[in-house]
Amino acid sequence: MSDSDKNRIAGLPCWQGAVDIEPLSGGMTNLNYRVTDAGEQYVVRFGEDDPVHLISRANEIASCKAAFEIGVSPELVHHEAGILVVRFIAGKVFDEADVRVEQNLERIVALLKRFHREIPGQFNGVAVMFWVFQVLRHYHNLLVQGKSSHIARLPELASIAAELEAAVGPVEIVFGHNDLLPANFIDDGEKIWLIDFDYAGFNSPLFDLSNLASNNELSDLQEREMLERYFNAAPDHATLGSYHAMKCASLLRETMWSMVSELNSRVDMDFADYTQKNLARFESVYAEYKNNYH
């Protein structure tokens, strides 16, 4: 923790007195700290607008406020340029294995249904449209401009992305989280909370569902049960084809997000390794999709 970060946190006007500050690990986009003030705990998140990854902090703040209003995310107690302060949730931060537990997955699907449909009624301001295929085009351009080490693969990946976009077809639009990594779920023993709204915005529900499945390596059976719970009906072949095309796109987005991060991120993380892991996942899932739905 730098002295400048520590001093800025200590000087925030939301505290009642002197505070204890400790770094929190795990942030892939932001620097995070846990702060204790007068016996209460908070999370301080550092992060500016990030045009590289299309992150708008105004959108994140509006999403965070709306998620609190519907009871799925902790309260945002203070924000100013480059900083958000939210209440700390004491509980189990999920990993992939936690998400795959049947009872947890059922609760997560119910949480997502509420989030998707109730957020628009509480959201104030200009909302973002998170369309994964436009994100992929944006990343493609950045990787070309930055002379990425992955540049030889880009024409092939662009062609696949166009194929997948056509295969997804017409979609329903809901308000999505769009970054369902396991650590964005916290179980306090009574409920599961959803956190971190860097990429929140209107999208197809298929993206969140496929993102949840791909980020947490759900089994085929778990995916079908997830879709049936979400849509209250067994998915037909056309829905499954659209869903699996979106799943490929979700993994391709995570892969290209990491490729771009190799060029631009200042976070202490081995993005080259993260790229290779996600590229391998993408290639496996895309091959399965081609065998079954194309």
Mean pLDDT of the chain: 94
Report pLDDT for 184. Answer: 96
Report pLDDT for 267. Answer: 74
41 and 168 fall within a common domain: no
Report pLDDT for 163. Answer: 98
Q: What percent of the chain has pLDDT over 70?
A: 98
CA–CA dist 190, 223 (Å, integer): 25
Model confidence at 266: pLDDT above 80: no
Buried b or exposed e, range 239-259, using 16+ CB within 10 angstroms: ebbbbbbbbbbbbbbbbbbbb
Residue 185: how many other CB atoms lie within 10 Å: 24
- The number of domains in the chain is 2
8 and 140 fall within a common domain: no
- Mean pLDDT for 202-211 is 97
> Containing domain of residue 153, as a range?
92-293
What is the value of pTM for the model shown? 0.93
End position of a domain, from candidates 60, 87, 114 = 87
Tens of pLDDT, residues 106-126: 999 999 999 999 999 999 999
Model confidence at 1: pLDDT above 70: no
67 and 170 fall within a common domain: no
Give SS3 for 70: coil
235 and 177 fall within a common domain: yes
Report pLDDT for 26. Answer: 62
CA–CA dist 198, 28 (Å, integer): 11
Report pLDDT for 79. Answer: 96
